[in-house]
Structures are given as C-alpha cells and as structure tokens.
Structure 1
Amino acid sequence: MPGSRRRCCSIGGSPGWRRGRCGRCGIGCGPICRPAADLFAACLLAGSSPVEAAEAVAHAVGGPLAARLRPIVASLRLGGDPSRCWLGLADDPVLAPLGRTLARAATGGAPAAGAVARMADEQRAERRRAATSAARRVGVRATVPLGLCFLPAFLLVGVVPIVIGLTTTLLRPF
C-alpha cells in the first residue's frame, strides 16, 4: 500500500507467513493479528453484531484477513445461514477458533463478545509469554560472548603480569 502507514496486513494465514511475520508487509503477526482480535472484541462488546464487527475489522486491517472476511460478510448480508457462513472459516487453522465461536453463538444464541474477548486476551498472554521467553534466552546467549571476551582480557591483564613477575623473581640468580 504505497503512501499509507505500515500496518499488519495479514493474520498468519497468508502463503508467505513464516515465523510470526507477515509475508506481505514483514510486520510481526500473531495467530490472529492482535489489533484485529482486539478490534473484533471491542466491536462486539460495544454492541455491534458479528457481521458489523467482521466488516469493521476487514475494513480496518485489510490484506488476507479482509479477503477471508468480506465474502462471509457478503453472504451473511444476503441472508445466508450464519452458522454455515461462520464455519467457512474452519478450513483456515488460524481463523478456525473464531469461526467456531461465531457459529456457536449464531446457533445457540450465546453472546460472542465474551468468547472473542477471551480469545484476544489469550493471544495477548501468549505474546507476552513468547516475549518473556525470548528475553530469557537473550540473557543466556549473552554469557558466551562475554565470557569469550572478558576471560582472555582478565588473563592478560590480571594473571599474566603476576605469573611473569613471579617467574622473573624465581628465576633470578641469587
């Protein structure tokens, strides 16, 4: 998108998605793009219908997520069976939980806002756990280069002069 600010355009289901990065824009994405999950939950908690929430998310996030949501929104607006339409997301492993949640809400009449908000919270917690784990790994990985740099320096500055001083003192003839 030339001229627009960079934003996540994928949710992880695009063909180029690898290691938590969007194949199109290179910005890190979660299983369902964090802003998209939060936006979907916020729309539902504000009283929007799932169709309106999906339409708002598709418009705001764009990219492959919009490509997946727009046909579902269109079929729902034309009077399609909500549970069948939302289960259309089940073939995508990333969007399957969202599709099942919205289909269950459409079939049973349970409010979807709480379930989608919990999904967003779980994704935030998972992202936090991954960041904490990565920070711990950095600390462990930093000890090797520090040890390789400081140990020789310590030996050259601290130990070698003492050894040289002792050997010259001991090897001097009386």
Structure 2
Amino acid sequence: AVCLEAGLPVALAVTAAAEPLHGAVGAQLRRTAGLLELGADAAAAWYAAEGLPALTTFARAAGRSASTGSALAQVARAEAEHIRAGLLDTAQAKAQRAAVHITAPLGVCFLPAFLALGIAPVVVGLAGEVLARW
C-alpha cells in the first residue's frame, strides 16, 4: 500500500538532507524528520528547530508552509545561497589568516640568510677598505 500522508515526502526529504550533517543541525533535522514520519503536527515538529540559528529561517518557513500551504522552495533556495555565501566568506578569511601566519616562519628562515649572504659581505668589504686607509 502506498502511504499518502502529506508529511511523509517532507520527512524523507529532511532525512536525506540531514544524513551528511553532523552536530546539532543534523541531529535536529533528524529529530524533526522523525516527528514528521510519526505524524506529528508539522508546525510543532519544526518549532524545536527554530532554536538553532542555522535553521531558524528555514524552520519558520517550513512550519508556515505546513500550516498555510505556501511554497517552501524559494526560501530553501535563498537559505542555501546564504549558507554558501557564509561558507565562502569563512574560507576566504581562513585563507587570508594563513597567508599572514606564514610570514613569520618565512621571515625567521630568510632573514638570517639575507643578512649572512647579502649584508655581511658588503659590511666586511666596506670595513676592509676603511681599515686599509687608516
């Protein structure tokens, strides 16, 4: 028999989305999917997910969608773009910090070599000429 429950396709989609996620977000999405599979009220199932900052907007929209039938795809798309932009910003900030942190070890390695091979011979040569004239 085919189950025609309205919440089951949503529960399956939420389960699939939560599968690769770790931490509080993944756990909350799996919990919400479980509640939806058991036939809980969708607004109540999504209400607990509103407590997590990463899920607040989507959870509110999903609860509203279950109550009113409003479209959820546009909100999901916008949230995905927002999350991707945040991840890109974080990655760029880490890359910039790495570039700054690498300068100290490079300076420690190259500065002595520069002094020994670049500055010291010039100073020794000039000192030899000055001492020879005295």
Instruction: Give the TM-score taking structure 1 as reference length.
Output: 0.59
* Cα distance in 1 for residues equivalent to 2:120 and 2:32: 74
* Cα distance in 2 for residues equivalent to 1:129 and 1:62: 20
Distance change in 2, residues 1:139/1:71 (3 Å): closer
The ranges of structure 1 where at least 4 consecutive aligned residues each deviate by more than 4 angstroms after the TM superposition are 62-67
Aligned length: 126
* Cα distance in 2 for residues equivalent to 1:78 and 1:166: 88
Match of 1:61 in 2: 20
Match of 1:106 in 2: 66
Question: How many percent identity over aligned positions?
Answer: 33
Report the CA distance between 1:71 and its aligned residue: 4.4
Instruction: Give the letter for the 1:115 counterpart.
Output: V
- 3-state DSSP of counterpart to 2:84: helix
* Cα distance in 2 for residues equivalent to 1:106 and 1:73: 13
Distance change in 2, residues 1:50/1:152 (3 Å): same
Report the CA distance between 1:80 and its aligned residue: 2.8
* Cα distance in 1 for residues equivalent to 2:102 and 2:26: 41
Does residue 92 (structure 1) correspond to residue 52 (structure 2)? The answer is yes
**Which runs of no fewer than 5 residues in structure 2 stay unpaired?**
1-7
Distance change in 2, residues 1:71/1:152 (3 Å): closer
Distance change in 2, residues 1:118/1:164 (3 Å): same
Structure 1 range deviating more: 68-77 or 151-160? 68-77
Report the CA distance between 1:62 and its aligned residue: 7.1
Greater helix proportion: 2
Contact 1:50–1:102 at 8 Å: present in 2 too?
Answer: no
CA RMSD of aligned residues (A): 2.7
Does residue 156 (structure 1) correspond to residue 116 (structure 2)? The answer is yes
Higher RCO (CA 8 Å, separation ≥ 6 residues): 1
Instruction: Give the letter for the 1:162 counterpart.
Output: V
Instruction: Give the TM-score taking structure 2 as reference length.
Output: 0.73
Structure with higher Rg: it is: 2
